[in-house]
Amino acid sequence: MTKKTLLGWVTIGAAAVWLATGCATQRESGPDVSLSTAENAEANRLPEIKWGYSLPDGLKIASETRKPVIVDFYAPWCVACRLTDQRIYSREDVVKTSWALVPVKIDVDEKPGIASKYGVRELPTVLFLNSEGKEISRVSGLLPAEGMIQRMEQAVTAEASAF
């Protein structure tokens, strides 16, 4: 294979990866210029899950509200974790579904004991716990938004059926 052919295949492969990861996507339209700057900022702001950073606090809230807990184990250096934040947790349908749960985010570098206690061996790992702290289910690795919503709904159903 010639250098030129190899370079062509590498370029095609890089473009395919770039497209598959969504790096080539663009906004279809710019901000509405008829809105004020503050209104534009609000209109363009992505929805967010309001994560807590303490599992004990999350479990306390869960026991008081009878909601399951979603625990997202991540690390700042984890590319798949950042993709999950950007592509899954920022979707409006995922955010709305999360309102029925108590969301907790755990940095495994800061709290390795909690990760070890729950057997976290891959990042990202998402645990769904009932309000008593018992595991309902887990997801290791990337999961599409629809799958995450399904797991969230299953956790809510499992928690509701326990009472």
Instruction: Say which residue the tokens 């928690």 belong to.
Output: 159
Whether the predicted model's global pTM rises above the 0.95 cut: no
Q: What secondary structure letter does DSSP report for 52?
A: B
Other C-beta atoms closer than 10 Å to the C-beta of 21 total 12
Which one of the listed residues 59, 62, 69, 78 is annotated catalytic? 78
Note down pLDDT in tens along the chain; length 163 residues: 554 444 444 444 443 333 343 333 233 333 444 445 555 445 456 678 999 989 999 999 999 999 999 999 999 999 999 999 999 999 999 999 999 999 999 999 999 999 999 999 999 999 999 999 999 999 999 999 999 999 999 999 999 887 6
Percent helix, percent strand, percent coil in the chain, to nearest 5: 45, 15, 40
Which one of the listed residues 55, 62, 81, 123 is annotated catalytic? 81
Domains of the chain: 47-161 (3.40.30.10)
Upper half-sphere CA count for residue 69 (Cβ side, 13 Å) = 27
Smallest Cα–Cα separation from 144: which of 71, 91, 77?
91
Residue 161 class from Cβ within 10 Å (0-12 exposed, 13-18 middle, 19+ buried)? Answer: exposed
Report CA torsion sign: 15, 19, 21, 25: positive
Q: Are 120 and 108 in contact (CB under 8 A)?
A: yes
Whether 78 is a known active-site residue: answer: yes
Whether 23 is a known active-site residue: answer: no
Encoding tokens for residue 141? 């690795």
Q: Are 105 and 125 in contact (CB under 8 A)?
A: no
Distance between CA atoms of 94 and 152, rounded to whole angstroms?
9
Give the per-residue pLDDT at 53: 86
Encoding tokens for residue 150? 């399904």
Residue 68 class from Cβ within 10 Å (0-12 exposed, 13-18 middle, 19+ buried)? Answer: buried
